[in-house]
Amino acid sequence: MAVATGDLLAAARAGDKRAIARVLSIIENDAPGAADILRETYPQAGRALVLGITGPPGGGKSTLVSRLVAAYRERAPRVAVVAVDPSSPFSGGAILGDRIRMQDRFLDEGVFIRSMASRGNMGGLARATARVVGVLDALGTDVVVVETVGVGQEEVEVVRVVDTVALVTVPGLGDDIQAIKAGVLEIADVLVVNKADRPGADETARDLAQMLTLGQPRTSWKPPIVRTVAAKGDGIDELIRAVDRHREWARESGERERRRADAARVEVEALLREALVRRLEQRVGSERVRAAVARVAARAVDPYAAVEELLEGA
């Protein structure tokens, strides 16, 4: 490993926020030193509590995350927030503004905040998030909160990197709750009804409980439903206890190892595909790959035939 990378990692391990930010930028941009950093940090990760917070917009997730971070900081010296915004593929997104305000609030040296948008991670936001979380973990962070906006496929992929997923809903989402419900039983480990002082909280909690009884349980874990009023700080301790219980169950039941094996498989397969394509391009020449794409675009040849031709030359 280059000396520069070693010094940077040492500073980051000591908790220097600018050093941590630089390490993460190298990883995110796959800049020189990225492979060294991943090699160095990979064996050291796996100790942090990694919690995912997801749910549709308007659920008060940012406020909830702020409260959680404050509460976790009372328990542990180093807490990080990774705010992932798949809805902002190009521009960095609205979440960034929230984060900057949040960073201002936490002048606390023990809190590190990182925003990630899809920019530069096209098609690979989940992988990039997994790496960032893994590096934060390896650098000695005690708790990593991964916050995502929305309940789409991309969010499901992103939360796959965490140990415990909390899905945040609010009373009165109306029909839109259907979209959440569809996948909720499979991805949520803890269900949160935030803004639970609003009318309809009982109904929302009941709806969620009913959905839970309808689904096919994937494991022996029954996701608890926790009511919070993040704006007032209500229910935060209960949420933390629910997360702890899930974490304990996941460790004992082998679920934690299953999720980590799944994440490892995704990462190895992705790296393998990239390496194989690079090798093919070196062998047949990237010019031939480009020419094949152009012929497919013109519908002069179908994609299967084009790929077969390329493979014959490799």
| Contacts (CB under 8 A) with a copy of itself, residues 245-284 | 257, 260-261, 263-265, 267-269, 271-273, 275-277, 279-280
Contacts by 203-208, CB closer than 8 A, 24 or more apart: 203/171, 204/169, 204/170, 204/171, 204/172, 204/173, 204/177, 207/177, 207/181, 208/169, 208/181, 208/184
CB 167 within 8 A of CB 149: no
User: Is residue 2 at the binding interface for a copy of itself, with CB under 8 A as the rule?
Assistant: no
**Neighbouring C-alpha atoms within 13 Å toward the C-beta of 195:** 16
User: Is residue 91 at the binding interface for a copy of itself, with CB under 8 A as the rule?
Assistant: yes
Least CB distance to a copy of itself at residue 282 (A): 12
Least CB distance to a copy of itself at residue 165 (A): 13
| Binding residues among 31-90 for a copy of itself as defined by CB under 8 A | 35, 38-39, 42-43, 45-46, 56-58, 85-90
User: Is residue 214 at the binding interface for a copy of itself, with CB under 8 A as the rule?
Assistant: no
Site size toward a copy of itself (CB under 8 A) is 76
User: Is residue 105 at the binding interface for a copy of itself, with CB under 8 A as the rule?
Assistant: no
Strand partners, 81: 113, 145
Look at residues 105, 84, 103 and name the one whose alpha carbon lies nearest to residue 95. 84
| Binding residues among 133-192 for a copy of itself as defined by CB under 8 A | 149-157, 175-176, 178-183, 186-187
Our CB check for a copy of itself shows the closer of 15 and 89 to be 89
Residue from 74, 107, 123, 220 touching a copy of itself (CB under 8 A): that is 123
Q: Which helix (H) or strand (E) holds 111?
A: strand 111-117
What does the block give as tokens for 223? 């996701």
